[in-house]
Amino acid sequence: MNMGPRFAFIGCVELSHALLRRLLTSGVAVPVGVVTREASPFNADFRSLADLAMEADCPIHFADDGNSAAMADFLRDLSPDVICCVGWSRLLPKAVLDIPPKGVIGYHPAALPNNRGRHPLIWALALGLSETASTFFLMDEGADTGPILDQRPVIIHPDDTARTLYARVAETALVQIGDIMAGIGAGTTVAVPQDHGRATVWRKRGPRDGEIDWRMSAKAIFDLVRALSHPYPGAHCQAGGSPVKVWRAGIGPPAPANLEPGRVLDVSNRGILVKCWDGSVLLMEHEFNPLPEPGTCL
């Protein structure tokens, strides 16, 4: 007989799906219900959990209408010991946080208390960081402010893209969630309060944050492009007054110092070579149609 904690799960992204599947197949906890969405305009990596809920014969609540009272009523009727919330774009209200006696487990792929806030994987890559973390914590009414249950470092490789870093973070999180649930079941889990005096918060990104400015360094452009690659919306540059997506780029060779940033140096089957502030960038996967002519300016 399974004696693990009874849990409900809230989420609607690829990582949510992977973590719920791990919990359903591991046997360390007993699923009692799922909250998800049928669609989401907020998450580029959206994935509904409906298929897993149906496979596990779990009650399911779709929260697309944003009705937090209805979600709270659904969860309260389930009487879960613990709730897991991963990949949810809204803060949970106190009415939900107060339901499970063992708390609500949240997740943030950053080294809390550093780098709370929005778009943690995108910011980590765009800023050229060499390390981030996979962090589970007990949720409170703040954003990423609750005590930490488990935090493990995740190395960022120089050639990582959003997809490869996402996969590495997920791999770490899949191990953590099983350990955490087992600890909750055994009564051995310890939550360590965050040092709020050391906290930093990443702001929300907008479309302008994804625009390539050719006055940026080659490394900064390379980092921006890989940060916004799939499953995210893609970096873009301007061509003829319209945005053009750039999905993969590389740091190019030195370029003549007397040429201005944005000058197209070469167009070949390798890509489009463009002058930037300190050298050049090779655009290898992009949506230029037609291709720019060498010598023109973007």
Q: Write the pLDDT tens digit of every residue in 183-204.
A: 999 999 999 999 999 999 999 9
The beta-strand segments (E) located in the chain are 6-10, 30-36, 60-62, 82-85, 104-108, 116-117, 131-138, 148-155, 201-202, 235-239, 242-251, 264-268, 271-276, 279-286
User: Quick one: pLDDT at residue 66?
Assistant: 79
**Comma-separated ranges of CATH 3.40.50.170 domains in the chain:** 6-202
The reported pLDDT for the residue numbered 44 is: 81
Beta bridge partners of 276: 279
Superfamily the domain 207-286 falls into: Formyl transferase, C-terminal domain (3.10.25.10)
Q: Which residues are CB-contacts of 2 (< 8 A; sequence separation ≥ 6)?
A: 27, 29, 30
For residue 5, which of 96, 74, 102 has the smallest C-alpha distance?
Answer: 102
| pLDDT score for 89 | 84
* C-alpha dihedral sign at 107, 112, 118, 120: negative
CATH topology (fold) of 6-202: Rossmann fold (3.40.50)
Residues of the chain with CATH 3.10.25.10: 207-286
**Mean pLDDT, residues 60-85 taken together:** 95
CA 268 to chain centre: 34
Residue 98 pLDDT > 70: yes
Looking at every residue in the chain, the average pLDDT score rounds to: 96
Name the residue with higher pLDDT: 27 or 275.
275
pLDDT-derived band at 43, boundaries 50, 70, 90 = confident
- The confidence band for 1, taking pLDDT boundaries of 50, 70 and 90, is very low
Closest by CA position to 296, among listed 268, 269, 260: 260
Q: How far out from the chain centre does Cα 9 lie?
A: 18
Binned at pLDDT 50, 70 and 90, residue 2 comes out as low
CA–CA gap between residue 196 and residue 200 (Å, rounded): 9
The band of 67, judged by pLDDT with boundaries at 50, 70 and 90, is confident
pLDDT(3) > 80? no
Q: Which residue would you say has higher pLDDT here, 149 or 40?
A: 149
Asked if 4 and 185 count as a contact pair (C-beta separation under 8 A), the reply is yes
Mean pLDDT over 208-237 rounds to 98
Q: Give per-residue pLDDT as tens, 152-178.
A: 999 999 999 999 999 999 999 999 999
- The answer, yes or no, to whether residue 41 has pLDDT greater than 80, is no
Q: How far is CA 263 from CA 283, 293, 294, in A?
A: 13, 10, 8
Strand order in the sheet with 242-251: 235-239, 242-251, 279-286, 271-276, 264-268
pLDDT at 216: 98
pLDDT digits (tens, 9 = 90+) for 103-149: 999 999 999 999 999 999 999 999 999 999 999 999 999 999 999 99
Answer yes or no: are the C-beta atoms of 132 and 186 closer than 8 Å: no
CA–CA separation, 130 vs 119, rounded Å? Answer: 17
